Chains A and B, each alone.
Chain A
Amino acid sequence: MVLVFGGAYQGKLAYAKERFGLTAADVYRCSSGEAGMPVGKKTVYEIDKWILALVKADIDVSESMKQFISSNRDATVICNDISCGVVPADSLLRKWREAVGKSLAELSRASDETVRLFCGIPSRVK
């Protein structure tokens, strides 16, 4: 598994597409309205949105992440880093923010390589 993270609009998907020669059909686009586990594609894009769907549906994120990892060993997983702002006033967003942080740590531990994007430039952090 390769984990690609970074702030919004930093070129994460463009990086993965170029590096792995992906087409749109290779990309699973997560949605905050779909709590079903992303599986079966080479790339999982914006896993943070799936995590938001889990939080909204009150599903155990840690358990879901374990299953996700074992089902996506060969995937490239892309996540928005949402950890650096003010603590949100909304309790759902607060739960989401913490769940994304814990999940990123979990995903990074399970990944063979972790890459952070900054203004379109990749840095290998693992």
Chain B
Amino acid sequence: MRVFISGGCKNGKSYYALRLAKAQHNGGGLFYVATMKPTDAEDRERIDRHRREREGWGFATVEQPTGIEGVLGKCSPGGSFLIDSVTALLFNEMFPVGGTSGCGAISPAEKTELGLLRVIDSIENIVIVSDYIYSDAMVYGDLTENYRKALAGIDCALAKRCDIVLEAAYSNLVVHKGKELLGKLYDKML
């Protein structure tokens, strides 16, 4: 099943995403696609915390901070995948460390969206995590506003293509799409 999950921070997205990916594991590989490029101690601490949370779950960690379709060459597509997160992937493509983005004729947002769509078209069992950053009263500069708009565009495209769309709401799940499919998966969740 292709699952898209979003929501505000600290709402339990990663918690559910791990369990959903594990529930979809059917003997093939179990892959955690890590997308964050650590830039400081706080990032490294967050990555360590996530690693500790995954310990004992059997995930192989695959680093893919840019060019997400690269995972197709590294992992068997018959496995169960977890990509966490769209937010970091887009950020890495739009704001590369020490330079301008090298996406050629297409924009970083298009590159991210096309890459993710290629990945979900090639993989049957996948959970993709994004962040819902669209309901505040801040007025942002163009740089941030363009990023927000691009992320929302990718979220909508992924939600359209996925079988199940979930919103984590403080440890509860709101099912926006695929209620019956989720029911089958839910029985297998820890």
Chain A interface residues (CB < 8 Å from chain B)? 6-11, 80-86, 88, 93-94, 96-97, 100, 118-121, 123
Contact = CB atoms under 8 A, between A and B. Distances in A.
Contacts of B137: 82-83, 85, 88, 93-94, 96-97, 100
B76 to A, nearest CB: 29
Nearest to A86: B136
B135 A81 contact: yes
Contacts of B159: 118-121
Contact of B135 (A11, A84, A121): A84
- Which 7 A-B residue pairings sit nearest by Cβ, starting from the closest? A85-B136, A7-B134, A9-B152, A84-B135, A119-B159, A120-B156, A97-B137
A18 B131 CA distance: 26
Interface of B: 4, 6, 8, 132-139, 148-149, 152-153, 155-156, 158-160, 165, 167, 174, 176-177
A87 B103 CA distance: 37
Contacts of A88: 137-138
Contact of B176 (A80, A85, A118): A118
Given A8-B148, A10-B152, A11-B156, A119 B136 contact: no
Given A118-B167, A123-B176, A86 B152 contact: no
Does more than half of chain A's interface fall in helix, strand or loop, or is it mixed?
loop
A80 B133 CA distance: 13
Contact of A119 (B135, B148, B156): B156
A8 B156 contact: no
B139 A8 contact: no
B165 A121 contact: yes
Given A9-B152, A118-B167, A121-B159, A85 B6 contact: no
Given A85-B136, A88-B138, 17 more contacts: A7-B152, A9-B153, A9-B156, A11-B156, A81-B134, A82-B135, A84-B136, A85-B135, A85-B137, A93-B139, A94-B137, A96-B137, A119-B159, A120-B156, A121-B165, A121-B177, A123-B176
A93 B4 CA distance: 32
Q: Tell which of B132, B137, B152, B155 has the most Cβ of chain A within 10 Å.
A: B137
A69 to B, nearest CB: 23
B138 A85 contact: yes
B121 to A, nearest CB: 18
Contacts of A9: 134, 148-149, 152-153, 156
Given A7-B132, A8-B148, A84-B8, A119 B155 contact: yes
Contacts of B152: 7-10, 119
Contacts of A93: 137-139
